[in-house]
Structures are given as structure tokens and as C-alpha cells.
Amino acid sequence: MANKEFLPPSHLKASAHVSSMAQYKQMYEQSISDPESFWREIAKDLHWESQPSDKFFDYNFDHTSGPIFVKWMQGAKTNVAYNVLDRHIQNGKGDKIAFYWEGNDVMDEKKITFSELKTEVCRFANVLKDFGIQKGNKVSLYMPMILELVIAMLACARLGVVHSIVFAGFSAEALTNRILDAKCCAIVTADGMWRGTKLINLKNIADEAIKRCKENGYNIDHCIVVRHLSPNPNELRNGNSCTQQIPAKRPCYDLKINWDSSRDKWWHDLMSTKTDEESKKCPPVWCDAEDPLFMLYTSGSTGKPKGVLHTTGGYMLYAYTTFKYVFDYHDDDVFWCTADIGWITGHSYVCYGPLVNGSTSVIFEGVPYYPTAGRYWEIVEKYKVSKFYTAPTAIRCLMKYGDEFVNNHDVSSLKVLGSVGEPINPEAWLWYHNVVGKGKCAVVDTFWQTETGGHVLTPLPGATPTKPGSATFPFFGIRPAILTAEGKEVKGPVEEGYLVFKQPWPGMMRTVYGNHERFETTYFKKFPGYYCTGDGARRDEDDYIWITGRIDDMVNVSGHLISTAEVEAAIAEHSAVAEAAVVSHPHSVKGECTYGFVILNDGFELTDKLITELKCKVRTKIGPFAQPDYIQYAPGLPKTRSGKIMRRILRKIAVGDTDFGDISTLADESVLGLILKHRPQTIKA
């Protein structure tokens, strides 16, 4: 069934921006043979305060011939906030809904128009200016999925301030590391948030991060706090308890936060000073196309997160184009991407991509199974969502509850169903297509990364025949290749190789913040002349591309890319652990989970208590999503004579597979039997 082709729905083809494979191939060929003309024409849809120089783009992918660099539209001046707000208002769309906001609880809802959003953005931009925050400064945003997060993002963009959003599931230590690396001058957070039935005190986590920064000699002078849960902010000062009863929603709860009046300021207090007409205006700061727009940290194979830096003009152009074509956006669509803005999917397809196209979108604070497993479909019905974008993890999770929760709601408004974050297995693809889409929707299985800024392999809804589990073909401007480990390009059908790209596209990252050498080493030195994704891929007899997963030591858990080195470092901090190794393990819902092997110091045993402590170490250091599902004792680890751990062997042991292949480079083959002997028999393969 995975190789069966599903043709684009005929009712979509009639109005699609790209309505046939012939049209796709013609546009694609132009995009790679004459990228300047292709992208220059699309750029006319956007506002540029000044045009680029004669050299529309320039790059070097080969480190042997000089430093790696990518530049698009040098010399052009623009402002992203102006393009996503002012431009639409001037075109008569000021009263159009920009966002419907749906809270964690069913009765929590808001909406905001483009004009209202611009006013709030300008007001908060003026707040930032009052603190002396200006172009080139960095601000950390550690917030729930609320409208104030988008307002803060766009206020930064309006001033040329670089935002660094940290997912609100990260621990204080992870937040600290990101603040210190980015050298953020301020943090914007909230008092707290609900994730399903779990209450999370964000302010206290932010306080702990600020304290740790100070211990490292770095001061955060400004902490702006959104009153998201607190009914009366005066009750919260100095650690007082705030008890709130929400009838028919949640039980009574206590939210206790600390308050430093010299540093902490309530968002609503600051915004209340910006109510006059002049305060509702803030002229955009015109930025060069290559000025930074934001940095977003992603896990690295060394264990230290990488600050992926995206720039203004190219990222905006690529987010605009991918959103328009991949979701076949039309002006009457209601779009919903379920991702958190703390990840790149939320940056590109909750905020920037939809807004720059003038789309009405949904922002959802909650989780798919609270208060019932019908929450997604209830929201689709409520707002008449036509384009829906979620992760395979969510799809697999909802599959377990059966078809009833979908069938109880009217989801007939849906036209395009998107998948993001990891390869989707054919079974989940078919359920998505048949049960959610009723066999009438196009399914677009998108492949991309934090580093790419937007989709790089994807079907187009009105043109591409799809195969369940395949990301199909490259998007405009993307030249993929599959290489052997020796760097030889393989043409035609190939079982698996390294997925690389031959030339740049506007939305790709420009560097790792503060460490360009790491940028070159991670993405370009393995195969000179190519951008290396770190993912494996195969190509079938019809030229469809299938992503096979990470080739390096990374794990994709529920769409969250996690460094095994980072998890290993957290586990090894425990006094009982002498050494740790972490690998991926298949998971029926998450796609992958982490599986840890630990060598213990003398006098320790791997008890249930110790396993719990090790998992808590990871939760504290990184976040709950990185917690290993399995931890087993290992008397030793399979290492080469040079001391490198052979993780491919550990991955086999984790699933009970004893076909290890070539083990001639192992220093001690006998360790394999010892590790297998201690593998818990209750673990599912």
C-alpha cells in the first residue's frame, strides 16, 4: 500500500496555484537553472524599501576554496513586521482575522484582526524601546502558545531586535544555556501555563535561569511577565499564593511566583502606558536583507545546542513562498498548524509564513487529547479549518483512540492535511487520509529542518501524486542528491545514502551564532560542495525520495531533534554512573524514543529508584520530552580500538537484534553478549 499513488483531489486542482506535474516541473526547472529570475519575480509580491544590488545571491559551499557563506538580496532593505501587518492593512485587510486563539481549556478563546495585531505590536515595540532595546540586541522569549508570544516576536522584528524563542518545555538549565550563548539583554515570559492537566510555573523557571546567568557573571536586567493565569497580580508579589477556582474546568490550584520589582515588570502594566495614539505607532526599522531576524537553538551532536541564525529577507521570502504553494493558500482559507512556536515549525508556519500571506490562522495552547481525544476535530469544526498541519506523533496518538472522535465532528471544511517533524509511517498516513480527510483531502508530507527555514521536500496539493510515507520531490530552488559514505552521487533508484543539497535557497540558515567554524564543520566539511542534512534517504524507481532518518547520533522524538550526547551528559552527572550511551529506539507513538545504557560505579545497582533518578536528571537538564523511555545496565560498551562507541550496535541491542554485521573493529567482542544478557525482556522490539 505504501507504493500506491494517490492522485491530487480533482476539486483542488481546478483552483490550485500549481495544478499539474508539468507545471511543477517547468517552475522547478527555472528555479534551479535561473534562481535569480525565479526568486526576483516572487519577491515582487513583498515590500522592499530599497532593492537589492546587482548580485541577487552569492554563495560558497566548498570549504576547500574559502569560507562557507550564503547571501541573498544583499543591499535590499525591508522589515518583516511591516510585510506581515502594514502591507495587508494598506491593501484593505485590516479587519480580517489574523488569529483565532484557542486556549488549553475549551472555553478560553480570543481573536485578533490584522489592525489590532499591528497596534499591539507597535505598543510592545515602544515598551522595548523604553528599556533601551534596539536593533541588533537579543531578547529571549520563554512563553506559552498565547497571542502575546506572536506580538513579542513581531515587536522584535519591527525594531530589528533578534528574538531567541525557547520552548516552554525546556528546563531552567537549558534556558540558561541559551540566554548565555545568545547574550540576551531581556527575557519575556508568563506567570504560568497549563499543558492539559499539568500546571507549569514558567516565571519560577525563568527566575532560576536568571539566577544561574548571574552565577555565570551575566545579568538580565529586564524580565517582562504576561499575566496569563493570575487573576490578580498584586496577590502574586513576594511569593504570595494565588488560588483560582475555574468552575467546570480544573480543580482549584495554587500559583506561587517570586517578584523582584527592580527587574520584573508585568506586561499589562507596561502596555497600559501605551494607550495614546502616538504610542500605538512605531515606525519600522528598515533592515538589510542579510540582517539577522532570529536565532533558534537546535540540538547538536556534540551535546551543546546550536544557535541557528536566520536572516531577514531570504527567510521571509522563503516562508512566504513555501506557505503559499505547499498549502495552496487562498484568501478564504483558515489555516492551523498545531506546532509550538518554540520550534521552527511554529516560527515558519504558525507565525511568519501565514502572516506574510495574509492568512487567518489558529493558535492552540493545549494538547490533542485534553479534555478528550476529539479536541483537534472540535477546533477544526469550530473555525472551519481548511488547511491543517500536524506531526505524525499526534496522528499516531489519536489513532489509538479510534475513529469515533473524528467522526463525531464535522471536518468537511478540510482540504489539505500536512505532516511535519519526522517521516510518517504508511499506516498513520492512510488513517490521516481516510479517516480525517475522508479520502477527499491532499496529504502533504513535508521534510525540512530548523536549518532549512522551510520545506525542502514536499508534495504540492494540486499537482503531486503522493505515496504514503514519501516526501516525494524537491520544492522550488532545492537541488537534492543522495551520496554514498565516500561522497559519490548515486543516480536512479538507491536503497539509502546521505541526503545533501547542491545549491542554496533563500530560507537556509547563514551560520551558527558565535561559531561559524561549527557551521562549516557540521554541514559542509563532510562532503565539500554540498550542504549535508545529516539525514539518510532513498530514491525509488519513480524518483520519489523517502527519508530514512538521522544518520548521525541524533534522535527524533515526537518531532523534537535530540542530541544523544546531550542526554548522555545529563545521565553521567549522577554519582552512580561511570559512563552512559544513548541511542534511538522505535516507539509506536513518538516515532522514536531514547534508550540509555549505563555503566555504574562500584557499589551501585540499577534499581527502579536509580532509573527514576536518572530520568529526572534528563528532565531537569533538558526537558521532559528528552527523558529516556528505557535505561538498562551495561557492564561495558562496544567500542572501537580508538575508543569510539559503536552506536549502531547498541541500536540493534536495544531492539533485541543480534545480527550485528561487521564487528571486526571492536576492541572487545565479548562485551556484546554481556550487554544482551542484561537487556530487559519486557522491552518491546
Each residue's pLDDT tens digit, 25-66 = 999 999 999 999 999 999 999 999 999 887 899 999 999 999
Report the pLDDT value the prediction gives residue 246, as an integer from 0 to 100: 38
Report the pLDDT value the prediction gives residue 243, as an integer from 0 to 100: 38
Neighbours of 553 (CB within 10 A): 20
Query: Is the torsion defined by CA of 660, 662, 664, 666 positive or negative?
Result: negative
Report the pLDDT value the prediction gives residue 231, as an integer from 0 to 100: 63
Cα radius of gyration (the chain)? 25
Architecture of domain 83-294: 3-Layer(aba) Sandwich (3.40)
Each residue's pLDDT tens digit, 624-647 = 888 999 999 999 999 866 567 888
What residue has cell string 554563495? 59
Contact 638, 664 (CB under 8 A): no
Q: Which residue has the higher pLDDT, 368 or 236?
A: 368
Which phi and psi angles does 37 have, rounded to 5°? -65, -40
Query: How far apart are alpha carbons 69 and 51 in whole angstroms?
Result: 21
Give the rounded distance of the alpha carbon of 184 from its chain centre.
20
Q: Please report which confidence band the pLDDT of residue 558 belongs to, taking 50, 70 and 90 as the band edges.
A: confident
Has residue 19 got a pLDDT over 90? yes
Neighbours of 542 (CB within 10 A): 13
Query: How far apart are alpha carbons 35 and 504 in whole angstroms?
Result: 10
Query: How far apart are alpha carbons 164 and 180 in whole angstroms?
Result: 11
What are the angstrom distances between the C-alpha of 37 and each of 50, 259, 677? Answer: 18, 55, 62
Q: Please report which confidence band the pLDDT of residue 664 belongs to, taking 50, 70 and 90 as the band edges.
A: low
Report the pLDDT value the prediction gives residue 244, as an integer from 0 to 100: 38
- Three-state DSSP at 473 gives coil
Each residue's pLDDT tens digit, 346-387 = 999 999 999 999 999 999 999 999 999 999 999 999 999 999
Each residue's pLDDT tens digit, 241-277 = 333 333 334 445 668 889 999 999 999 999 999 999 9
110 membership: H or E segment, kind and range:
strand 109-113
Has residue 233 got a pLDDT over 90? no
Which residue stretches of 284-330 are H helix?
Answer: 312-326
Report the pLDDT value the prediction gives residue 359, as an integer from 0 to 100: 98
Report the pLDDT value the prediction gives residue 142, as an integer from 0 to 100: 98
Which phi and psi angles does 375 have, rounded to 5°? -60, -45
Cell numbers for 470, please give them.
514519501
Report the pLDDT value the prediction gives residue 256, as an integer from 0 to 100: 85
The pTM score is 0.87
Query: How far apart are alpha carbons 180 and 51 in whole angstroms?
Result: 36
Has residue 415 got a pLDDT over 80? yes
Q: Please report which confidence band the pLDDT of residue 512 belongs to, taking 50, 70 and 90 as the band edges.
A: very high
Query: How far apart are alpha carbons 546 and 255 in whole angstroms?
Result: 47
Q: Which residue has the higher pLDDT, 536 or 163?
A: 163
Query: How far apart are alpha carbons 473 and 456 in whole angstroms?
Result: 9
Query: How far apart are alpha carbons 178 and 190 in whole angstroms?
Result: 18
Query: How far apart are alpha carbons 178 and 167 in whole angstroms?
Result: 11
Has residue 175 got a pLDDT over 60? yes
Query: Across the strands, what pairs with 307?
Result: 297
Average pLDDT over every residue of 548-558: 77
The type of residue at 521 is T
Q: Please report which confidence band the pLDDT of residue 661 belongs to, taking 50, 70 and 90 as the band edges.
A: confident
173 membership: H or E segment, kind and range:
helix 172-182
Report the pLDDT value the prediction gives residue 24, as an integer from 0 to 100: 98
Cell numbers for 622, please give them.
533538558
The type of residue at 95 is D
Superfamily of chain region 558-678: ANL, C-terminal domain (3.30.300.30)
Has residue 164 got a pLDDT over 60? yes
Has residue 518 got a pLDDT over 90? yes
Q: Please report which confidence band the pLDDT of residue 189 belongs to, taking 50, 70 and 90 as the band edges.
A: very high
The type of residue at 149 is L
Average pLDDT over every residue of 151-159: 98
Query: How far apart are alpha carbons 406 and 344 in whole angstroms?
Result: 28
What does the domain layout of the chain look like in residue ranges? Answer: 83-294, 558-678
C-alpha atoms less than 13 angstroms from C-alpha of 673 in its C-beta half-sphere: 3
Average pLDDT over every residue of 83-109: 96
Each residue's pLDDT tens digit, 451-480 = 999 999 999 999 999 999 999 999 999 999
Query: How far apart are alpha carbons 449 and 455 in whole angstroms?
Result: 8
Nearest CA among 352, 351, 355 for reference residue 363: 351
